[in-house]
């Protein structure tokens, strides 16, 4: 057998492939040897050419060739190339690793395909069809395309109509939760103690999911009118204040002393700090005065509260890095008489919410004085 293999290898060196296969066909002993050695491919392929069997003999390969990506058998190509690495082009594309483009390559590709360089620049699909198939075929394709579009839109409309019908089944009194809250369900299933416990856990979870960096307002200044402080405008300059202490500082310090200042609720003055729960939060001071002082107005009784202390620590670090000095100020509130006078003269104006509150406040003060 080894002699036969060597003989074929020697023949292959000096003869063409078709001459070697013709030699095998004419020699019964060699033909029987080749068929026996390559019997493993008999049931895998139809009409197996002799040069395919010869390739196995010359390469000492006596097992079926399988796809490198799956267990399917691959097809034979030529004596030089042997078998395909993949069973099909589809299989090869499916398992081909994605190409990783560099930033420069992506920019170059984008530039080469955009604007006037794009293959479809100044063209429509219809114009391409006309150029490729002629007007008659292009018209047919256009009609077919429009018909498909119309059908797909009808399917979308029908599906949306069905969705509306499904929703209407569970609307209003037909809804299993009609007239109930989640607490009512827990009360029925767990009793009052269990419902209260579940509600406390639920509120804690909601708080944790919407606090710190999870809060959509994280890193942004508070909108005007938000919070519980007295909000409004100091009208001579249109300055917005969020508390009576801020208003007092505006009048007594900034306005009366004609100081240069900036609103502390600008993005460049955003201060990151860690609160008493260990969560990262953002804080904006009240005023930046004379490019030197960062001012925060808080009543003295709150100066040692955990929240104020945490903010102060973050602010002092920010000031040190930016050449500022942090001051926590206990500004006396504007006296009642002065505030009423300023309001009546239009020097201060509250937001709609606090205009109503101010009217109630004045009414109460007037009643107390009469009594």
Helix (H, G, I), strand (E, B) or coil at 81: coil
Judge whether 20 and 8 are in contact, CB under 8 Å: yes
Highest mean pLDDT pick, 98-112, 204-218, 280-294: 280-294
Let me know if 79 is exposed, middle or buried by CB neighbors in 10 A (0-12, 13-18, 19+): middle
Q: What span, in angstroms and rounded, lies between the C-alpha atoms of 324 and 16?
A: 91
Predicted TM-score (pTM) of the model is: 0.40
Mean pLDDT of 42-54: 80
Distance of CA 140 to the CA centre of its chain: 42
The tens digit of pLDDT for each residue in 327-362 reads: 999 888 878 788 888 888 888 888 888 888 888 877
Of residues 338 and 162, which shows the higher confidence score? 338
Mean pLDDT of 212-240: 64
Q: What span, in angstroms and rounded, lies between the C-alpha atoms of 304 and 307?
A: 8
Give every CB contact of residue 307 below 8 A, 6+ residues apart in sequence.
275, 276
How far, CA to CA in Å, does 218 sit from each of 269, 309, 323, 362?
Answer: 14, 20, 25, 37
Mean pLDDT of 92-102: 81
Helix (H, G, I), strand (E, B) or coil at 73: strand
pLDDT-based confidence at 240, cuts 50/70/90? confident
What integer best gives the mean pLDDT of the chain?
A: 80
Mean pLDDT of 76-100: 84
Q: Which pLDDT belongs to residue 213?
A: 62
DSSP assignment letter at 255: I
8 pLDDT exceeds 50? yes
């Amino acid at each position: 057998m080894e002699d036969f293999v060597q003989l074929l290898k020697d023949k292959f060196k000096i003869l063409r492939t078709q001459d070697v296969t013709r030699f095998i066909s004419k020699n019964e002993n060699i033909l029987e040897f080749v068929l026996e050695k390559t019997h493993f491919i008999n049931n895998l392929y139809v009409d197996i050419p002799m040069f395919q069997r010869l390739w196995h003999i010359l390469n000492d390969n006596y097992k079926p060739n399988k796809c490198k990506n799956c267990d399917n058998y691959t097809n034979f190509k030529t004596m030089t190339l042997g078998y395909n690495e993949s069973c099909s082009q589809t299989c090869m594309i499916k398992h081909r690793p994605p190409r990783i483009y560099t930033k420069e390559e992506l920019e170059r590709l984008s530039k080469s395909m955009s604007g006037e360089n794009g293959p479809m620049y100044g063209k429509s699909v219809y114009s391409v069809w006309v150029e490729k198939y002629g007007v008659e075929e292009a018209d047919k394709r256009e009609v077919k395309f429009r018909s498909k579009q119309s059908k797909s839109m009808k399917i979308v409309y029908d599906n949306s109509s069905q969705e509306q019908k499904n929703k209407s089944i569970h609307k209003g009194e037909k809804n299993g939760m009609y007239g109930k809250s989640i607490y009512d369900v827990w009360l029925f299933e767990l009793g009052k103690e269990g419902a209260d416990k579940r509600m406390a856990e639920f509120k804690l979870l909601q708080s944790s999911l919407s606090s710190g960096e999870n809060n959509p307002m994280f890193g942004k200044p508070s909108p005007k009118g938000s919070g519980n402080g007295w909000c409004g405008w100091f009208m001579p300059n249109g300055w917005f204040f969020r508390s009576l202490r801020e208003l007092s500082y505006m009048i007594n310090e900034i306005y009366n002393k004609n100081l240069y200042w900036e609103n502390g609720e600008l993005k460049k003055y955003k201060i990151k700090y860690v609160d008493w729960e260990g969560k990262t939060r953002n804080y904006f001071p009240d005023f930046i005065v004379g490019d030197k002082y960062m001012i925060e107005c808080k009543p003295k009784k709150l100066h040692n509260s955990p929240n104020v202390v945490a903010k102060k620590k973050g602010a002092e670090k920010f000031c040190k890095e930016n050449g500022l000095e942090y001051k926590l100020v206990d500004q006396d509130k504007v006296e009642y008489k002065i505030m009423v006078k300023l309001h009546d003269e239009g020097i201060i104006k509250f937001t709609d919410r606090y205009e109503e509150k101010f009217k109630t406040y004045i009414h109460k003060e007037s009643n107390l004085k009469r009594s």
